[in-house]
Structure 1
Amino acid sequence: MTDPALLVRDLDETELLARVFPLLPPGEATDVGPGDDAAVVRAPDGRYVVSTDVLVEDRHFRRRWSSGYDVGRRAAVQNLADVAAMGARPTALVVSLVVPGDLPVAWVTDLARGLADATSPVGAAVVGGDLSGGDAVVVAVTVHGDLAGRRPVLRSGARAGDVVAHAGVRGRSAAGLALLDARTAVPSDGAPGASGPFAPLVAGYLRPWAPLDAGPAAADAGTTAMLDVSDGLLRDAGRLARASGVVVDLDRAALEPDVAELADAARALGSEDPEGTALAWVLSGGEDHGLLATFPAGTPLPEPFRAVGHVRALDGQGPRVTLDGHEPAVGPGWDHFGGR
């Protein structure tokens, strides 16, 4: 157990890393892990999938809500989902960490535990990275994956007549964030975490889960296009529509179970239109990290994919997303710089 009074500035870099490395088990593809100038990871396919993402304190998370463990899991999951969306299995992560000197060492070791718990079940591992001091916590992750002989699944392959399907949860993270913002689900002592009936929704924001096995399963089933839903269903479906040159038409009825699940949280927040608020979370809420994919009509959908719409040919108005054939009444979702 790390002394909660021990701060990052009380240790040098070597001492801090010595507390972190033992918490990071090796992955199935790791030949050389942390401790040398570079890691060595096997790539039997001859290719590797690579993606990167970053979490910045007070933009992507707040320490008064999120423990180090929460941030470690989130940082891993959002990157692992990108690899899964290409039809690959994650193999290795490289993590760069910026920390202020007054950060408790226990927060850093908890972050390592969160990374390990998210990566170990899929056989991946943190194999190295970098450490620096700074004014706020920044976690930058680069992930690698193995296609195992599969073709990479791109966003550009959807065709008219395809079924649009989704695996994972929809809207939970946005609902959880709204509850935290309103302090509706924050313990009275202000400690990270959640309590009460909405704890699963807050957990959806603090510790999102991604259906990682569904990515390779979709590739094996013949998916024509796929991507990770990180910035909201509408925005990411729009990216798929533009890449493929099609119209993605979502089915409102298919989203009803998600709306029903979230409506009580909207009521608790005082919404005058709880179903409308819940629908906005489902359509525009980011960071659920489900997978959105298209399949040829008649293809048996692999678990846990569920049909949520279909693909239509262009009709003169350009690639876009519709809801039951009409322009959605809510905004498109998260954008880092505020543009569409």
Structure 2
Amino acid sequence: MRHSVGDLGESGLLKRIFPRLALPEGTIVGPGDDAAVLAAPGGQVVLTIDSLVENQDFRLTRPNGHVTSGFDVGWKAAAQNLSDINSMGARATSLVVSLTLPANTLVQWVEDLADGVVAAITQLGAVGCGVIGGDLGKGRDLAVTIAATGTLDGRRAILRSGANPGDTVAISGTLGRAAAGLSLMESHHLSTGLTPGLTSLVNAQRRPQPPLAAGPAAARAGASAMLDVSDGLFRDAGRIAIASSATIDVDGEVVRSFAVPLQEAADLLQADPLEWVISGGEDYGLLATFPLGNELPKGFRKIGTVSEGGSRVTFRGQDVVGGGWDHFANG
């Protein structure tokens, strides 16, 4: 029999979810009380929070027939928060998950969501991290909110405001793949008929792969500024430029190389693959600046330089205006 969350109620649902969660080391009080208690190694705690909301951040069914599983939503909700911790040069230590659910939501979907969160933690390499608690509530639409904590392991946090003229601009991870995957899911090319190459792009949107080892590595290598590319390369580069009162000069040829693996999808959808690269988000790679002469950590690739003043981004020598994702403008 397929139960809904309304059949089980809050207590019954929690009894199904708790055994799926592994508590991280350093948990003093876990799920079951009003709040969790954690040890704070190093005395500093990095904290972030993010949400995925049905019909805003995901759809249960896409135009091409793709059905969004609870596992996918759980994975992505965990990945985007782990990425935010990563972008500070920190290591994730715990997640707290809040779910808003219609009463007719299937229990299996919620169990799959819990499994997706745990799988993302494990497979993305967030060693020592786990789910320590959360909240359940009833609502019209599904919504998943995760708060994540992290530790700097004795290092300083890498902010957006530290870029200096002469710094190297570098990227770790991929650009444009998740955006291309989203375009495929929003098209009328059936998900069951996609080639392996196109399916890999859809998977990049479903289950992003933020490079979690890259954040601490960048901090150890002396990164001067950093953030994750969640809303598009140009928009996020602009955030570093504004915070650092500097100009980010993006190398056109290097950025164009990220568009080459997207050509099959671009041909099918009659789209410009470069647009996915420069404006698409949700690959959750890291954009960082490093002082001139510092060796780039493994996995980082130079894509530009920092120059004085302007608080702007240039591409092929031209100022960049707009681009990227804005929850309210694009929503």
Place the TM-score, normalised by the shorter chain, in its bin. Answer: over 0.9
Deviation readout 1:118-150 (Å, 9 max, x if unpaired): 123312111101000111100011100001110
Shift of 1:331: 4.2
Instruction: Report what 1:274 is aligned to.
Output: none
Deviation readout 1:184-204 (Å, 9 max, x if unpaired): 25237xxxxx76431111011
Aligned residue runs from structure 1 range 282-301, under 5 A: 282-301=277-296
Matched to 2:317, the amino acid is: G
Query: Does 2:315 align with 1:323?
Result: yes
Deviation readout 1:271-314 (Å, 9 max, x if unpaired): 3xxxxx11110000011111100001121111211111100112
Shift of 1:245: 0.4
Shift of 1:151: 0.5
Q: Residues 168 and 289 of structure 1 are in contact (CA less than 8 Å); yes or no, is this contact kept in structure 2?
A: yes
The separation in 1 between residues aligned to 2:218 and 2:252, in whole angstroms, is 23
Instruction: Report what 1:48 is aligned to.
Output: 45
Instruction: Report what 1:106 is aligned to.
Output: 108
Shift of 1:55: 0.5
Matched to 2:289, the amino acid is: T
The separation in 2 between residues aligned to 1:222 and 1:79, in whole angstroms, is 23
Instruction: Report what 1:217 is aligned to.
Output: 217
Aligned residue runs from structure 1 range 19-30, under 5 A: 19-30=16-27
Matched to 1:334, the amino acid is: W
Instruction: Report what 1:139 is aligned to.
Output: 144
Mean Cα displacement is larger for which, 32-41 or 6-15? 32-41
The separation in 2 between residues aligned to 1:212 and 1:183, in whole angstroms, is 34
Matched to 1:95, the amino acid is: V
The separation in 2 between residues aligned to 1:270 and 1:87, in whole angstroms, is 38
Matched to 2:59, the amino acid is: R
Superposition CA RMSD, Å: 1.5
Mean Cα displacement is larger for which, 21-30 or 146-155? 21-30
- TM-score (ref. length: structure 2): 0.94
- TM-score (ref. length: structure 1): 0.92
Query: Does 2:14 align with 1:17?
Result: yes
Mean Cα displacement is larger for which, 148-157 or 36-45? 36-45
Matched to 1:152, the amino acid is: A
Query: Does 2:243 align with 1:236?
Result: no
Matched to 1:150, the amino acid is: R
Deviation readout 1:40-92 (Å, 9 max, x if unpaired): 11111101000111110011011123210000010001011111111110001
Instruction: Report what 1:77 is aligned to.
Output: 79
Change (3 A) 1:202 1:128: same
Instruction: Report what 2:252 is aligned to.
Output: 252
Shift of 1:32: 2.3
Q: Unaligned stretches of 5+ in structure 1?
A: 189-193, 272-276
Shift of 1:33: 1.8
Q: Unaligned stretches of 5+ in structure 2?
A: 62-66
The separation in 2 between residues aligned to 1:196 and 1:178, in whole angstroms, is 16
Query: Does 2:303 align with 1:313?
Result: no
SS at match of 1:54: strand
The separation in 1 between residues aligned to 2:291 and 2:201, in whole angstroms, is 33
Query: Does 2:23 align with 1:32?
Result: no
The separation in 1 between residues aligned to 2:248 and 2:135, in whole angstroms, is 41
Shift of 1:228: 1.1
Shift of 1:250: 0.6
Change (3 A) 1:185 1:225: farther
Q: How many residues align?
A: 322
Matched to 2:260, the amino acid is: A
